[in-house]
Amino acid sequence: MATRDMAGVGTTGRLNSLVAGVVGTVFIVVGLLGFTVSGDHSVAGHTGGQLLGLFQVNILHNIVHIAVGAAMVAAAIAGTRAARVANTLIGAVYLALGLLGLFITGDNPLNIIALNGADNGLHLVMGAVLVTVGLGADKR
């Protein structure tokens, strides 16, 4: 049965699955691409290679991207309910990470995944989008 989302656009009730699948796949690709620039850096630490000349990543950061991406793809495959929960929870974690990153960016010893300002901004936006979709779409 078709429903209407908040913008009045018709949906088939699977926006969460679509978002989780697409975002999860992008995370996996980004994690894999990160290995092309992080090889000369420590596994965990406040420095990393520049992905796309903007985002700083190290090996641990890449592994996190791949793990989160795999969880999101698995949730998308499992169905709308699982995707909705994954989008909401992962989005909340990314919002928290974006906020935390504002305090630990740079050479702070707690910055073990090489966060920088661009990472923090992206984490805040991604978290907000995922939470919004998770809580706002595919309601019955």
> Number of folded domains in the chain?
1
Span 48-106, pLDDT tens digits: 899 998 999 999 999 999 999 999 999 999 999 999 999 999 999 999 999 999 999 88
Considering the domain boundaries, does residue 64 fall inside one? Answer: yes
Q: Check: CB of residue 78 under 8 Å from CB of residue 56.
A: no
Contact call for residues 83 and 19 (beta carbons, < 8 A): yes
Helix (H) or strand (E) run with residue 9 in it: none
C-alpha–C-alpha distance, residues 31 and 113, integer Å: 12
4, part of any domain: no
User: Pick from 112, 96, 98, 25: which is nearest to 60 by CA?
Assistant: 112
Query: 3 lies in a domain?
Result: no
- With respect to residue 1, please indicate whether it lies within any of the assigned structural domains: no
pTM: 0.85
On whether residue 5 sits in a domain, the answer given is no
Asked if residue 121 is part of any domain, the answer here is: yes
Q: Which domain holds residue 97?
A: 14-136
26, two tokens: 């992008």
